[in-house]
Amino acid sequence: MTEWWRSAVIYQIYPRSFQDDNGDGVGDLAGITRRLDHVADLGCDAIWLSPIFPSPMEDMGYDVSDYTGIEPLFGTLADFDALIARAHDLGLKVIIDQVISHSSDRHPWFVESRSSRENPRADWYVWADPKPDGNPPNNWLSVFGGSSWTWDAGRRQYYLHNFLDSQPDLNLHTPAVQQALLDAMRFWLERGVDGFRLDTVNYYFHDDRLRDNPGLPRKPGVLPPVNPYDMQEHLFSKTRPENIAFLKRLRALTDSFPDRMMVGEVGDALRSVQIMGEYTKGGDRLHMAYSFEMLGPDYTPAHFRKVIEGFFTGAPQGWPCWSFSNHDVNRHVSRWSPHDAGGDALARQAAALILSFEGAICLYQGEELGQTETDILWEELTDPVGLRFWPDNKGRDGCRTPMVWDRDGHAAGFSTAEPWLPVKPPQRARAVSEQAGKAGSVLEAYRAMLAFRRATPALTGRGTRFLDLPEPLLGFVRGEGAGAVTCLFNLSAKPAKLPKSAPGGVAIGPAQGVETAGRLGPNGYVFLRGAG
C-alpha cells in the first residue's frame, strides 16, 4: 500500500455550492464532475465531498436518512459513479463525508427505535429516563444551543442529540450499530471511494453512566459566551476511551482495501491537538486528523508554532491534516483581515504558509480565489446556527455561498436559476474568469505554490525545525541536509526586519515582499535553499 495521503492536498467541495447543472439553484454531482478539471489544473491530489446522502437537509446533509444512497437534489448513484470515474481519470482521489455519530430523526433506524422500548432497534439510539422531577437525565448541552436531550412522548424517555434535536445520536455501545455503520462504509469502499472524512470523530461514544459534565471557570465580570455549550468541559458527552477500539475497527475495514484512508474531524476547544495525536498514533487508528486550531482568529507565529510543535511532540507517530477554512467557519481572508496589507497579499501568503506545513493539507473551495466571507442578511439565512444565535453569531451561510466561475454569468456561472444562497458583488468579483492566467492573481499564486510544493521533497516529507525569530516573523526549516528548505514569513501588514541570526541562502520558488537590507515586506515570504 502507498501512503499518498501523507503529502496530499485535498480540495473540499461543498456540493450545494460548487456547480448546478440541472438548473434548480442547488449544486449537483453532474456539476461537480464537469468542474473537476479546475481542481486538477490547480494541482490538488484529492477532493472531499461534504455529505451527498439522502437527507431532510435541516443541517444541510449532516442529518443523514440513508447511508447508502444519494440525495436526489444532487443526483443518482449513476451520477456518483460517473464522478468517481472522471476524478480517477484526472488523477484525483475521492473522499466522502461519513456522519456516523448521529443520523436524521427520519432515518428508518430512528423511526423504529422510537416506536417502542422493545423493538429490535430500541437500543440503537441513546435513550434515558427522566429525573424524578421530569428534567433530562443530566446537564449535557447541544452544540446548537440548549439541552442535548429531547423528550419523546411515545417512549416516555429522552433521547440524546449533540446537535439539532432532529439529529439523534446513535448508540455505538450497541454492537449491531457498529456493524451497521461498518457495512455502510464498506458499500462505498466497494464503489470505489478512496477514503472518508469522519465528521465529529470524537463524538461517537458517550459515558454510559450519564455523569454530568463539569463547568469551566468563568472570569468575574465577563459575560458568558454566546453559546452556553462553551461553558462546559465535555468530559462525559464525548471523547470517551471506548472510541479508540471503534477507530481500530474502522481502520481495519479501510485497510482491507488498497490505498484507502480516513481523516477525522476532532471537535474540542480544550485539547484538540492532544486528541488528534491520540487518534492517529500507531498504525491501527485514523490515518490522520484535523481540528479547529487553525480555523480561528489567531494569525501569529507563536500560535502556528504551538499547534504544529504540540502535535508532533505529543504524537511523533501520528499525522495531521491542516486547513485554514472550511464550511463551518468564516473564510480566513476575512477572519485574518487585521493582518492583511491589502491587494490580496494575505491570501497569497496564506497559500504559501499552509502549503509549507508538515502534514496533509485541505483547501476549501474558493480559497484559491481569495474568496471573502459573504455578508448574509437575516432574511437570507438557512443555517440553524445563525437562526439560533443571530446577530451575535451569524452562522455558517457566509462561507457556503456558491462558487464563482464567470463574473458576468448568471449567478457568476454557478446556476441558470436563483441560487440557494446569494452571489453578491464582492464574491462575484473574484470569479475564476477574472483570475485564470493573470499574473499576480490569488488563483495563479495557489497554482504556483502547489507546483512548488509538489516539486520540493522537503515540503512533502517529514521534519520541521522552528527558528527562534521575533514576532511577527515565523521561520522554520523543512527537511534535512542539502535538500532542506528554510521558510520565512512576515505575518503582519507592516515591514519586518530579519535579525542577524536569521539564516541566509538562495531564494527558490514563490516569494512576496522580499526587500533589501534583510527585510520582509508586509505579508512577505521567501523560501531559501542552502541556508546557514
Q: Which residues are catalytic?
A: 199, 265
Contact of 109 with 124, CB cutoff 8 Å: yes
Set of cell numbers at residue 361: 493539507
Q: How far apart are CA 328 and CA 386, in angstroms?
A: 11
Strands of the 261-265 sheet, one edge to the other: 288-290, 261-265, 195-198, 93-98, 46-49, 9-13, 360-364, 321-323
SS3 sequence of 266-282:
CCCCCCHHHHHHHHHCC
Is 325 exposed, middle or buried (CB count within 10 Å of its CB: 0-12, 13-18, 19+)? buried
Longest dimension (CA), the chain: 78
DSSP state of 316: T
Residue type, 346: L
The CB-based long-range contact list for 403-406 (8 Å cut-off, 24+ gap) reads: 403/17, 403/18, 403/19, 403/27, 403/35, 403/365, 403/366, 404/366, 404/369, 404/371, 404/428, 404/430, 404/431, 404/432, 405/19, 405/35, 405/431, 405/432, 405/433, 406/431, 406/432, 406/433
Q: How far apart are CA 345 and CA 524, in angstroms?
A: 8
Q: How far apart are CA 258 and CA 8, in angstroms?
A: 16
